[in-house]
Amino acid sequence: MALPAIEFSNGLTIDSQITANYTYSLRTRSADSHYLRSLDNDDGTRNFDRYAPINNRVSVFGEIIATKDNYGAVLRG
């Protein structure tokens, strides 16, 4: 979502943008016995049962762009 640009009388322009995401993932199958044979390769497989959530995340990413004459700066985070 782009926010309105701010223009100052000295020629400085500031543009900004925000992106928000939501992700939800779950395991749709039971653990495969092929991956359960070795004790060293099954940490993720044993930790999640069928239909157990494996990812539940909200993220927000913002960006500010400042420009004046032939110079500019970008701040992201």
pLDDT digit string, tens, across residues 20-60: 999 999 999 887 777 777 777 666 777 788 899 999 999 99
What DSSP character marks residue 48? -
Question: How is residue 59 written in tokens?
Answer: 């993220």
What's the rounded Cα separation, in Å, for the pair 50 and 30?
A: 5
Q: What ranges in 1-65 are assigned the alpha helix state H?
A: 33-36, 43-47
Most confident of 1-5, 17-21, 39-43: 17-21
Output the pLDDT for position 8.
Answer: 96
Residue 3's pLDDT band (cuts 50, 70, 90):
confident
Output the pLDDT for position 60.
Answer: 97
End-to-end Cα, the chain, rounded Å: 15
pTM for the full predicted model: 0.60
